[in-house]
Copies of this chain bind each other. A is one copy, B any other.
Amino acid sequence: MLIPLILSGGAGTRLWPVSRQGHPKPFMQLTDGQSLLLKTYLRAAAVAQGGQILTATNRDYFFMSKDELTKARVGDVECRNTFLLEPFGRNTAAAIIMSAFMVAEQFDRDACLLVLPADHLVQRQEAFAEAVQNAEILARQGRLVTFGIVPSMPETGFGYIEAGPNIPPGRSVLRFVEKPDVETAQKYVSSGNFYWNSGMFCFLAGTVLNEFALHAPDIFQTAQACWQELRHTTKADANMLEIPAKHFEQFPDISVDYALLERSANIAVLPADIGWSDIGSWSAVSQLIKADADNNRGIGECLFVDSHNIFAQSEERLIATVGVDDLIIVDTADALLIVPPDKAQDVKKVVTLLKKQNHDAYKLHRTVFRPWGSYTVLEEGPRFKIKRIEVKPGASLSLQMHHHRSEHWIVVNGMAKVTNGDQELLVGANESTYIPAGCSHRLENPGILNLVMIEVQSGEYLGEDDIVRLSDKYGRCQ
């Protein structure tokens, strides 16, 4: 039994302004419209062969993640997914040991866990499946297996694994090394004994628990106590396990590499040439796009005049460059980034600065996702705000009331069921209704198509915090 464990964390600050706290890197869509999370899930499903998948993520991303996974289409392998929800980020050691406890108890201590970061890309699915098969062979020998990517260039942004004698179908691990300088990296690559540390792992649940108990007993005990609490409050068939914060905060913020792999003698590396990319920066993203004759790459509407080596990505705007070379241009509804490829790592500085200024653009997009769907602020002005609201089929917003604003709703697509005080009415496309301030109301989508609505708010105060939630099916009344 092979159980993929998808680790869906990682802020991806180097991919700002597309990746932000409210919509982080795993949700970033590539040009085929699939998010990195969905791609990881499909990759996992293909090797889990209809079995079980675990997805560990922050509970803030539960609804968005669920939505992503439902985008797997007919024809994709169907698996059962269980979410392991973390109250806050605690790096990989905590997520992995909690998953191992869960798998050992609810499935099998001999089940093989395949750890997959949700924000990487693997472009060679067959080679990946073969690598997973080989890793499982080593894992079933009781080893902690790490996937070592065969390096294609002297990359200085990754850690490396030095491999020793063969342990067919893999190799032993001599040591893990930190990000090298470029000369060292060059030596590593030409030696043939060094691999990129991919953050993908494979081991039996029982093995990893034993190894944690041996090499990181504090983490083991924290996890044991946490699991005891969790198992009593969760049904075995639940598709969501929410880790209690009071236990989870006991975990050190540490990666499985540091906490365990670098201490264990029981490690193997499985060399893998699987078309892997960590999509770690806009430079990496740009490499996924085919270049034109001037080595320019454009997503969206771009006009390159006397320009070379440009990567430009636009959501709606026309981007025109004149006489410039070597630039990355990323345009979103509310923020624009311009950076040369060789400085792409420094984009995180922008996020740090924005966070310091408490600027919305480090965490929120113009479009904000909610359990029931999403809203986009189209325009704000004195005494009015205009939103586009999209409600998923069957979803409903909370029964709510605003003290200071009234709302005009115009349905442009689908059908809305509107509770307005004591009244209930259906509002179809091209119809409208009006919610006065102080009136309790609820918006539902009773249909099977997405409901798209324009809301024009008007009033003296239009802050999102002028909301009294009277009843909410997503538990947001407390």
| A contact set with B: CB distance below 8 Å | 16-17, 303, 305-306, 314, 316-324, 327, 329, 331, 333-340, 342-343, 346-347, 349-350, 353-354, 359, 361, 378-379, 381-384, 386, 388, 406, 408, 410, 412-413, 429-430, 432, 434, 452, 454, 456, 458-459
Give Cα A358 to B432, complex, Å.
37
Asked if residues A322 and B336 are in contact (CB atoms below 8 Å), the reply is no
Q: A306-B343, A413-B383, A432-B408 are in contact. Are A336 and B323 (CB under 8 A)?
A: no
Asked if residues A361 and B318 are in contact (CB atoms below 8 Å), the reply is yes
Asked if residues A318 and B336 are in contact (CB atoms below 8 Å), the reply is yes
Could you list 19 examples of A-B contacts with CB < 8 Å?
Answer: A305-B346, A306-B343, A316-B334, A317-B335, A317-B336, A318-B334, A319-B336, A321-B337, A322-B338, A322-B347, A323-B342, A323-B346, A324-B340, A384-B412, A384-B413, A386-B454, A408-B410, A410-B458, A432-B434
Asked if residues A305 and B383 are in contact (CB atoms below 8 Å), the reply is no
Give Cα A408 to B408, complex, Å.
10
Asked if residues A322 and B350 are in contact (CB atoms below 8 Å), the reply is yes
Asked if residues B318 and A335 are in contact (CB atoms below 8 Å), the reply is yes
Q: A303-B354, A413-B383 are in contact. Are A327 and B320 (CB under 8 A)?
A: no
Central interface residue in A305, A333, A359, by most chain B CB within 10 Å: A305
Give Cα A376 to B317, complex, Å.
15
A306: B residues at CB distance < 8 A: 343, 346, 349
Q: A335-B318, A346-B305 are in contact. Are A456 and B454 (CB under 8 A)?
A: yes
Write the nearest CB–CB distance from A57 to chain B, whole angstroms: 28
Asked if residues A339 and B353 are in contact (CB atoms below 8 Å), the reply is no
Instruction: Please tell me how many copies of the chain the complex holds.
Output: 2
Write the nearest CB–CB distance from A268 to chain B, whole angstroms: 40
Asked if residues A17 and B320 are in contact (CB atoms below 8 Å), the reply is yes
Give Cα A136 to B164, complex, Å.
93
Asked if residues B381 and A379 are in contact (CB atoms below 8 Å), the reply is no
Chain B residue at minimum C-beta to C-beta distance from A351: B320
A456: B residues at CB distance < 8 A: 410, 412, 432, 454
Give Cα A134 to B319, complex, Å.
48
If A321-B337, A322-B347 are given as contacts, then 7 extra A-B residue pairs at C-beta distance below 8 Å, sorted by A number, are A16-B320, A303-B354, A319-B335, A324-B343, A329-B336, A379-B388, A432-B434
Asked if residues A386 and B378 are in contact (CB atoms below 8 Å), the reply is yes
A412: B residues at CB distance < 8 A: 381, 383-384, 456, 458
Write the nearest CB–CB distance from A300 to chain B, whole angstroms: 10
Q: A320-B337, A379-B378 are in contact. Are A305 and B350 (CB under 8 A)?
A: yes
Q: A305-B353, A456-B410, A456-B454 are in contact. Are A331 and B321 (CB under 8 A)?
A: no
Give Cα A316 to B331, complex, Å.
13
* List of 4 A-B pairs having minimum Cβ-Cβ separation, nearest first: A323-B343, A384-B412, A322-B339, A430-B458
Write the nearest CB–CB distance from A413 to chain B, whole angstroms: 7
Write the nearest CB–CB distance from A409 to chain B, whole angstroms: 10
Write the nearest CB–CB distance from A242 to chain B, whole angstroms: 35
Q: A306-B346, A381-B412 are in contact. Are A320 and B335 (CB under 8 A)?
A: yes
Central interface residue in A338, A383, A432, A434, by most chain B CB within 10 Å: A338
Write the nearest CB–CB distance from A201 to chain B, whole angstroms: 33
Chain B residue at minimum C-beta to C-beta distance from A341: B323
Give Cα A456 to B335, complex, Å.
26
Chain B residue at minimum C-beta to C-beta distance from A342: B323
Give Cα A261 to B339, complex, Å.
49
A319: B residues at CB distance < 8 A: 335-336, 338
Write the nearest CB–CB distance from A341 to chain B, whole angstroms: 10
Asked if residues A331 and B320 are in contact (CB atoms below 8 Å), the reply is no
A410: B residues at CB distance < 8 A: 408, 456, 458
Give Cα A401 to B349, complex, Å.
54
Give Cα A389 to B192, complex, Å.
66
Asked if residues A452 and B347 are in contact (CB atoms below 8 Å), the reply is no
A320: B residues at CB distance < 8 A: 16-17, 335-338, 350
Asked if residues A353 and B303 are in contact (CB atoms below 8 Å), the reply is yes
Give Cα A354 to B303, complex, Å.
9
Give Cα A337 to B434, complex, Å.
41
Asked if residues B334 and A317 are in contact (CB atoms below 8 Å), the reply is yes
Q: A320-B350, A339-B323 are in contact. Are A406 and B430 (CB under 8 A)?
A: yes
A347: B residues at CB distance < 8 A: 322
Asked if residues B318 and A338 are in contact (CB atoms below 8 Å), the reply is no
Name A322's contact: one of B334, B337, B379, B432 (CB within 8 Å). B337
